[in-house]
Chains A and B, each alone.
Chain A
Amino acid sequence: MKDLSVNIAGVEFKNPVMEGSGTFGSGMEYGEFVDLNRLGAVVTKGVANVPWTGNPTPRVAEVYGGMLNAIGLQNPGIDTFIARDLEFLKKYDTKVIVNVCGKSVEDYLDVVERLSDEAADMLEINVSCPNVKEGAIAFGQKADALYNITNEIKKKAKQPIIMKLSPNVTDITEMARAAEAAGADALSLINTITAMKIDIHKRTFALANKTGGLSGPAIKPVAVRMVYQTAQAVKIPIIGMGGIANAEDALEFIMAGASAVAVGAMNFHDPYTTVKVIDGLRDYMEQYKVSDIKELIGCVK
């Protein structure tokens, strides 16, 4: 019997595999393909205090080994989210991590407080979306702003909080240390990398927003490096993500120091990617006679 369970900030996950916020909705659509009970957690798409319309289209574009998106955090607002999405997830034996976004500190706090008594196991604070003009990444690119918002949210949050970090910074460890110092319970990284694609036939930007976030296998080596650097810099647990397509990729993140991993863009390539990663982790443990996956976390120094 292989032990795939991991513990992050006191929350016990049956396995270390979840999906990246925004790539899976709240699981309703992908639940037609994947048994959500098998996932370590469902990480929901970012939710704000009120509905957000998001950006104009085109919002997505394919690039070699990845994709760009500039959805702009379209979401139905916390009221609908609680009544519909959280209610739906109650049917499943999996942990629920709610991704929270906002334009101001007050927006974030509003959502965090609304979730106090709801069935959310952890909150992931999105301070790293590159596609909205206000809030989000503005809090994730300056250490003092990140410290401040983390500190404010920690005062109100009933659940453990995960700060989702942006790779669009000079030194990821400076951000990680600021979040840890302010009381963050865990970190998740990386969010997408700001990028651009030009449509040479139309002589315009591929995305209406001009820039978008790059995700997919193309960013994996950058993400593994950042997870490793962060793991050396802080003591709090890390959820690693960025282009994970299979168990081998997931193991790189785990060995670099991630306690759990998230599958993002590759859900679009294959809706079964998450469960294939779980099965592949078990196969690896059989092959190398590893009884507990926790032995592998950060094993590469």
Chain B
Amino acid sequence: MSKIKETAKVISQEKLALDIYSMWIETGIAKEAVPGQFISVYTKSEARLLPRPISICETGDNSLRIVYRIAGKGTEEFAAYKEGDRVDILGPLGNGFPLTEIEDKCSNGREDQGLILIGGGIGIPPMLELAKQLKGKVTIVVGYRDADMFLDEELKKYGRLVIATDDGSVGTKGNVIDAIKEQGVEGSVICACGPTPMLRGIKAYAAEKGIEAYISMEERMACGVGACLGCVCRSAEVDDHSKVNNKRICKDGPVFKATEVEL
């Protein structure tokens, strides 16, 4: 798997919800990418020198889709790109979800109850390509702030969709764990991406149920390729590369077994 840095062409841009945008980009990175990986997206200003790490939402033959939230001036610039515009990207980065391992874990379980994919907020996008590629019974649990949802219609095509909202306007009122309990979601393996408090809850839930959880983490990044050690997380064991209890989210992750990391 090799990394590509290129000036790619924007195919389309669409607003999905408040501050949430979807952009398809024509790029050879698509062929190399696996679900759970991300790309670095560079702004056109040298004054904003760090790339923005954005998860891959979907891949096509020679194109990929990112669904991202406007969080500052850099992502605001991306949201203004139109069809035919150029964008500098680098990827695919990170490890992605280990699909075969996850499917094996599922089918070797005491009783295959299928997979639970969990996305919270801007952690939802990588679940789309993952849901498309994983074989077997899939339940997708998503958490939003309110009824201003995104990707829900598309996710429904790939499994049972269970929704939680902070304000209770759709589905279970509360977080994704509340929805899992209230709506009777069962599964043998969890894959999740979202804010750290959500991942912490999932780690505890998986431990209680005695099932494996693969979680995708995020952190402020600089290089995105594993050189600068900006985006580490605490690991349970001494890491083989760093020789301390730190793993690089951009290179060793962003996907880890929940038991591997301290949250």
Contact = CB atoms under 8 A, between A and B. Distances in A.
Contacts of B227: 23-25, 28-30, 45, 267
Contact of A64 (B47, B226, B229): B47
B226 A216 contact: no
A168 interface: no
Interface residues of A, number: 41
Contacts of B219: 57-58
B225 A32 contact: yes
Interface in B32-48: 42, 46-48
Contact of A74 (B5, B49, B232): B232
A64 B241 CA distance: 33
A152 B42 CA distance: 45
B221 interface: yes
A136 B50 CA distance: 26
A198 B38 CA distance: 27
A268 interface: yes
A268 B47 contact: no
B174 interface: no
Contacts of A74: 229, 232, 242, 244, 246
B222 interface: yes
A245 interface: yes
Interface in A48-71: 51-54, 57-62, 64-67, 69, 71
A269 to B, nearest CB: 4
A268 B228 CA distance: 9
Contact of B230 (A51, A60, A266): A60
Given A52-B244, A80-B243, A23 B223 contact: yes
B102 interface: no
B50 A76 contact: no
Interface in A252-288: 265-272
B230 A76 contact: no
A271 B221 contact: no
B241 A76 contact: yes
B242 to A, nearest CB: 6
Contacts, number: 111
B222 A60 contact: yes
Contacts of A52: 244
B223 to A, nearest CB: 5
Nearest to A64: B47
Contacts of B220: 57-61
Most chain A CB within a 10 A radius of its CB, from B42, B231, B244, B245: B244
B121 interface: no
B157 to A, nearest CB: 36
B3 interface: yes
Interface string A107-120: 00000000000000
B5 A67 contact: no
B244 A51 contact: yes
Contacts of A61: 220
Contact of B232 (A54, A65, A80, A268): A54
B243 A65 contact: no
A161 B14 CA distance: 56
B90 A29 contact: no
A168 to B, nearest CB: 21
A65 B222 CA distance: 14
Nearest to B43: A269
Interface string B211-238: 0000000011111111111111100000
Interface in A197-240: 216-217
B242 A76 contact: yes
B4 to A, nearest CB: 10
B32 to A, nearest CB: 12
Given A57-B233, A60-B221, A71-B230, A217 B246 contact: no
Given A53-B244, A74-B242, A76-B241, A269 B51 contact: yes
B246 to A, nearest CB: 6
B49 A77 contact: no
A51 B229 CA distance: 14
B251 interface: yes
B228 A271 contact: no
Contacts of B241: 76
Interface of A: 22-25, 28-30, 32-33, 45, 51-54, 57-62, 64-67, 69, 71, 74, 76-77, 80, 216-217, 245, 265-272
27 contacts: A24-B227, A25-B228, A28-B227, A29-B223, A29-B226, A30-B225, A30-B227, A32-B225, A33-B3, A33-B5, A51-B244, A54-B246, A57-B219, A57-B231, A57-B233, A59-B232, A60-B222, A65-B47, A65-B49, A66-B49, A67-B49, A67-B222, A76-B242, A77-B243, A267-B223, A268-B223, A268-B224
Given A71-B230, A268-B50, A271-B225, 8 more contacts: A23-B227, A30-B225, A45-B227, A45-B229, A59-B231, A74-B229, A268-B224, A269-B42
